[in-house]
Structure 1
Amino acid sequence: MTAPKALDAPHIPPRILGPAYRTASIGILLVITLVAFEGMSVGVVMPGIAHELDALNLYGVSFSAFLIASLFANVVAGLWSDRRGYPLPFLAGVVLFVAGMGLAGAAQSAVLFLVARAVQGLGAGTAIVALLVMIARVYPAEMRPKVFAAVSAAWVVPSMVGPSIAGFVADQWGWRYVFFGIIPLVVPALVMLVPALRRPAADEEPSDGPRSRPLAMTLAAAATAAGAGLLLYGVDRLHVSPVMGAVGTVVGLGLLLYGLYRLLPPKALRFGRGLPTTVLMRGFFSAAFFGVNSFIPLALQEVKSFTVKEAGIALTTGALGWSAGSFLQSRRTAEPYKRVRLGASGVTVAILLCLPSVIPGVSGWIAVPAWIVAGFGMGLGMATISVTALKQSPVNEQGANSAALSVTDMLGSALAIGIGGALINLIGHSSAEIATGFVVISLLMAAVGLSGAVLAGRIR
């Protein structure tokens, strides 16, 4: 007589803060929080920096330097991660980021500060792509939606308290300590990530596809970065010097298309089904959301006489909606393309709801609930895109595709903001003209969001 079989123990899904993943999860979230805090703080302290360094035009140039350096770093880090694993790119990115923070805090001239911003961009771009690859290699597929939800939530606290803390530190000790203060906080994050960094590399042959060739990819990254810089310069100069602006725009667009053709998955520029469209969706979301998000404070302050604090409330509530959307996608309540379509539709509707906030007789406060909806759409769509792209990627191409996601993300927001700024300059800077410009920008970005909703079905 055989003994009865023991009942199988119920399957308990692993938790991102469970014993096996706790230190890696906390370390990743700390790094994301520090990068997010730096991003949210720079805008607050820029007036003091511009005053002390005698560089009133530092605003746009400093952000462009960070962006272009990040674009280049994204690609190199993705290639490096695919060929050698994520530990060295991640450590190099953190070292560069810390070095950039130190240089920025010690800068005595505008030129040195711009160099520091570029070094920060190199570090942040490298570290973020390596973190995406780390998530793909360390966590099983069933856990990744929850990890990306937590990563999105890690942006919420810096979005809410970062500007206030940076302003307090700058008032008490000076803007330099906003940069210096982040440096020691990197140490506990690195300590937490030691087990994940010592994890054996995946037993996978390096990719031998066209996006695995170091020289070709580096040249494509350089072309993309240079093209983005020239395009932003050209768009910004169109209202001042149409000829020079047009030349910069055309040349920049040519370089950009050349680089993107080689950096993105095959058929991406034709919206090929599956991974190619998944990667491009990131750019649609970023363009639609940040193309309006960046001009909400300007519109509310100049048209509705909001204070800086009041205008910032809309952006803060958007971060809360983003966190809620990210949490919902982790529940997997629908197929990925449906979640992306719903997210893009939410962003589009929110932009249209926000549009009347600059119309006479309509309260500017309607931007607050509208931007909660926009943030919810972003959280639902962006996290789903990240999870889906990693699922669609072979192990030996996760770095290249993570880099492609970051490239389309930054390009989408940068180009949308640049075009929006050019429209504002072209239409005018009076209260009524800014209101008109905001309406035009909102309609344009709503069209981008609607296009994303329509194309989302090609993710399948």
Structure 2
Amino acid sequence: MTEQSTHGAPTSLADPRVRTTVVVMFALDFLTAFELFAVTTAMPTMARELHGIELYGLAFAAPLTMSIFALTVGGVWNDRSGPGVPLQVGIVVFSAGLLSVGFSPNMWVVVAGRSLQGLGTGLVAVSLYVVVGRLFPGELQPKLFAVLSAAWVLPGLVGPALAGFVTATVGWRWIFLAVPVLALAGLFALRPSVGRLRAAVDGPRSAVGRKPLWAVGAAAGVFLFSRGGERADAWWPVELAVAACIVIVTVPRLMPAGVWRAVRGIPSVVAMRGLIAAAFGIAEVFIPLLLTDARGFGPAMAGLALSIGSVAWFCGAWLAGRGKIRVPVRMPVAAAFLTVGIAGALLPVFQPVPVAVGLVFWAMAGTGMGLAYPTLAVLILRYSPQSEHGVNSSALQLSEAIGQSIAFAGTGALFAAILAMSPRLGFIAAFAVAVVIGIAALAVSRRTVVGDV
């Protein structure tokens, strides 16, 4: 039951009781996504101006590492106290990180600020899922997650160009200094509806136990993965092996029992999120490189390809939100679209194949992701008692973050090892890994459904 069940649940996202919450949630996701795309554009300029090019990779690895810790702690915190305080703290920490970067005198401060961003982003991400479960009835949740998908599509279309314009005209610092004003405004707008939400009473509170310690270990493992995949010296296999050992020991302690066996229900939902995120993420990283290096196109074509995938993602999410495809059918279809789309997106590596063919397949993969993502989010809330919305939403997002990090590092190392022999073979190997992961997601997809959903 939702928080508003006793007073009559809202019947649409435009209901006055939840309208402001919907707008602010959209804005928070938009700002988070904009920063993600904008910093990629601005970071080369930042590193040069602050004479810290050697910290370039660390500035990207730090927020991912900290978000893993924040997602874990945030999940337990939400279940024990309700989403109000963790969400507000997350927004404040996220804003503090942005301000630190905006006023940074050197790259070490940038890294510290980016770490705060990661902490804040992790707290906000898991808290928003709990808010959805507490304030919105089940029939509105797919529509809301479809709307939130658009918050990630729009920055992907305009974020890099806008960030480039701001960097070239008034300087990169304003990319980070302007956003906190909007984020903090959202905090005050959310307080009336979210601030009153307390811990759920429909079950036992999530146990803290040693989860924070395991989260530190998992974050360290992911950090080593992200750094090891970038190294070109003889020690990178050792670093990846150490990272793998750490992840194998720590990550199972953060996941629901049965994830590795893809037990039907919550474990399979969590597993599928990590698998599809890893498969799609690998292809998304290598498609721009394929178009520019293997086919000789410029950055504009690479950007167009990613934009096509983003728009297709939103279209898939819109279809999922309308509920026209039943969930037992939707999940295998989504995984099949993703897997076939990734395989087809590789075809332009062969010169006779028109690039347009690859883009059509990439749109297919994006549609599959759009069908799957909001559905998995709804299922994790539907299968979980309110008292476990936090920890299970945390596990869902941890699966994505950890799965992508491992996939990026492993595939990047594989690509680098094969590149010297044959660039084409390197692309084939990278996409083959993504396809294999997609096939695994397809195998798991039917086990995400329990009963009549």
- Under a length normalisation based on structure 1, what TM-score does the superposition of the two structures give? 0.92
**Superposed, which structure 2 residues align to 1:12-51 within 5 Å?**
14-51=11-48
Residues 1:323 and 2:314 are matched in the alignment:
yes
- Does 1:258 find its partner at 2:249? yes
Q: Single out whichever of 78-87 and 182-191 deviates more from structure 2.
A: 182-191
Equivalent-residue separation in structure 1 for 2:63 and 2:91 (angstroms): 15
Q: Which amino acid aligns with 2:69?
A: F
Greater displacement, 351-360 / 80-89: 351-360
Name the CA distance, whole Å, in 2 between partners of 1:46 and 1:363. Answer: 33
1:402-441 matches, within 5 Å, as 402-428=393-419, 433-441=422-430
Determine which of 445, 448, 451 is the counterpart of 1:459: 448
Spell out the pairing of 1:317-396 with structure 2 (5 A cutoff): 317-396=308-387
* Matching of residue 199 in structure 1 with residue 190 in structure 2: no
Residue 282 (structure 1) aligned with residue 273 (structure 2):
yes
Q: Is the 8 A contact 1:27 1:191 kept in 2?
A: no
Q: Distance in 1 between matches of 2:10 and 2:181?
A: 35
> Structure 1 residues 141, 286: closer, same or farther in 2, change over 3 A?
same
Instruction: Say whether 1:154 aligns with 2:151.
Output: yes
Equivalent position of 2:5 in the other structure:
none
Q: Which residue identity lines up with residue 378 of structure 1 in the other structure?
A: M
Instruction: Single out whichever of 38-47 and 162-171 deviates more from structure 2.
Output: 38-47
CA 1:148–1:276 in 2, change beyond 3 Å: closer, same or farther?
A: same
The Cα of 1:414 is off from its aligned counterpart by 1.6
Contact 2:294 2:424 in 1 (8 A): yes
Pick closer, same or farther for the CA change 1:13–1:232 going to 2, 3 Å: closer
- Residues 1:48 and 1:395: Cα distance change in structure 2 (over 3 Å): same
What percent identity do the matched residue pairs reach?
34
Asked if the contact 1:137–1:202 (Cα under 8 Å) also holds between the matched residues in 2, the reply is no
State whether residues 72 and 215 of structure 2, in contact with CA within 8 Å, keep that contact through their aligned partners in structure 1: yes
Supply the AA of the counterpart residue of 1:360: Q
SS of 1:268's partner is coil
Could you tell me which amino acid in structure 2 is paired with residue 156 of structure 1? V
**Matches of 2:159 and 2:227 in 1, distance apart?**
29
Using a 3 Å threshold, how does the CA distance of structure 1 residues 202 and 283 change in structure 2: closer, same or farther? same
Which of these residues, 64, 67, 72, is aligned with residue 64 of structure 2? 67
1:298 is matched with: 289
Runs of 5+ consecutive residues of structure 1 not aligned to the other structure: 1-10
Q: Tell me which amino acid in the other structure corresponds to 2:364.
A: V
Contact persistence 1:97–1:119 (CA under 8 A):
yes
Q: Which amino acid aligns with 1:224?
A: A
Paired residue type of 1:328: L
Instruction: Give the match for residue 161 of structure 2.
Output: 164
Residue 240 (structure 1) aligned to one of 226, 233, 242 = 233
Give yes or no for contact 2:80–2:199 (8 Å, CA) kept in 1.
Answer: no
- Aligned to 2:53, what secondary structure does the other structure show? coil
Alignment of 1:222 with 2:216, yes or no, is yes
CA contact (8 A) 1:82 1:206 kept: no
Give the 3-state SS of the residue equivalent to 2:139 in structure 1: helix
Query: Residues 141-190 of structure 1, C-alpha deviation per residue, up to 9 Å, x if partnerless?
Result: 11111111111111111111011100000000111111112122213322
CA separation of 1:245/1:26 partners in 2, compared to 1, >3 Å: closer, same or farther?
same
* Count of aligned pairs between the two proteins: 442
**Structure 2 Cα separation of the partners of residues 118 and 308 of structure 1:** 29
AA paired with 1:293? E
Identify the range of structure 1 (339-348 vs 51-60) with the bigger mean alpha-carbon deviation: 51-60
In the TM superposition, residue 338 of structure 1 has moved relative to its aligned partner by 2.5
Cα distance in 2 between the residues matched to 1:69 and 1:453: 31
Following TM superposition, by how much is the alpha carbon of 1:283 offset from its aligned partner in structure 2, in angstroms? Answer: 0.4
What CA distance in whole angstroms lies between the structure 2 residues aligned with 1:201 and 1:101? 29
One-letter amino acid of the structure 2 residue matched with residue 419 of structure 1: G
- Amino acid corresponding to residue 70 of structure 1 in structure 2: S
Asked if the contact 1:231–1:249 (Cα under 8 Å) also holds between the matched residues in 2, the reply is: yes
Q: Which moved more, 1:386-395 or 1:227-236?
A: 227-236
| 2:213 partner letter | L
Match among 137, 142, 145 for residue 139 of structure 2: 142
TM-score, with length taken from structure 2: 0.93
- What is the deviation of 1:79? 0.5
How big is the shift at 1:322?
0.7
- 1:67 positional shift: 0.7
Deviations 1:170-215 (A, max 9, x none): 000111111112122213322331222233425506635xxx3324
